[in-house]
Amino acid sequence: AFDFSVWELWGALRYGGKLVIVPHPIARSADAFYQLICEQGITVLNQTPSAFKALMASQAHSALSDQLRYVILGGEALEPTLLQAWY
């Protein structure tokens, strides 16, 4: 979506970050997406709450460990209780 893309793309590149563009098949699989996050050392993630819910489930049963420092949620309403299990 355009609103995320402007600061996601240029913010990361302008300040020396690494931008990882997720291939479509990986974006459709929470397990593959979580593996990509771990392998690439992703520290900042932007997602919708519903996609993040699926990612939390993948994280819970994965032997991998992520380096996430910031998770930015948008694009739909967030039910704060969704984050209790993850936090």
The pLDDT of residue 14: 86
The pLDDT of residue 5: 72
The pLDDT of residue 2: 64
In this structure, whether the domain defined by 21-83 belongs to CATH 3.40.50 is answered with yes
Q: Coil, strand, or helix at residue 73?
A: strand
> Which residues partner with 45 through β-bridges?
71
CA distances from 27 to 14, 19, 23, 24, 35 (A): 25, 15, 6, 5, 11
- Please report, for the chain, the start and end positions of each structural domain, with discontinuous segments joined by +: 21-83
DSSP 11-70: HHHHTTPPP-PPPHHHHT-HHHHHHHHHHHT--EEEE-HHHHHHHHHHHHT-S------E
**pLDDT, one tens digit for every residue, the chain (87 residues):** 566 677 778 878 888 888 898 999 999 999 999 999 999 999 999 899 999 999 999 998 899 999 999 998 988 999 989 888 887
Burial label for 8, CB within 10 Å (0-12, 13-18, 19+), is middle
